Amino acid sequence: MILPRIGDQRRAVVCPEVTRTQIVQFAGATGDLSPLHVDEPAAMELGYPSVMAHGMLTMAVTGSLLTEWWGDDRLTAFGARFLASVWPGDELTAVAVVTAVREARPGSCVDLQLTTTNQSGVVVLTGTATVRMLEPVGE
């Protein structure tokens, strides 16, 4: 694989439409059955307009951009801050930008800045990731 350059980026719609069914599927697959995600009356009682998607669901679909770009065995770190709620009906777009290409032994490491937004341009997640490369810096 050719080493990327700082500023290289990938963008993808990582979730065309968040649905209540998807949120429930994710709750079932992960065991996170918080009422905020699966009990709409309880979520509304707390002041929310509906159930919301798990932050981990947003992170997981953002992660799919990383694995599609870099493969599934190169990540050494992946972190996210959940900045805004994701609701049923939202479309999520993720962008990953190369911020550094560093020497590591063996090979090199590529640092990435991640941003995921909804259909209104609201940033719902920011994050970072690091990818390990076999190729050394300078080749």
* Sites of contact with another protein (CB under 8 A): 14-15, 22, 25-26, 28-36, 46-48, 52-61, 63-64, 66-67, 72-73, 75-86, 124
Beta bridge partners of 95: 11, 115
Q: Which is nearer to another protein, 106 or 138 (CB)?
A: 106
Q: Which is nearer to another protein, 73 or 139 (CB)?
A: 73
- Of 57, 116, 63, 67, the closest CA to residue 88 belongs to 57
Query: What is the distance between the alpha carbons of residues 27 and 6, in angstroms, rounded to a whole number?
Result: 37
Q: To the nearest whole angstrom, how small is the minimum distance from the Cβ of residue 52 to another protein? A: 6
Q: To the nearest whole angstrom, how small is the minimum distance from the Cβ of residue 29 to another protein? A: 4
Q: Which is nearer to another protein, 7 or 42 (CB)?
A: 42
Q: Which is nearer to another protein, 7 or 68 (CB)?
A: 68
Q: Residue 50, class by beta-carbon neighbours within 10 Å (0-12 exposed, 13-18 middle, 19+ buried)?
A: middle
Work out the number of other CB atoms within 10 angstroms of the CB of residue 94.
Answer: 25
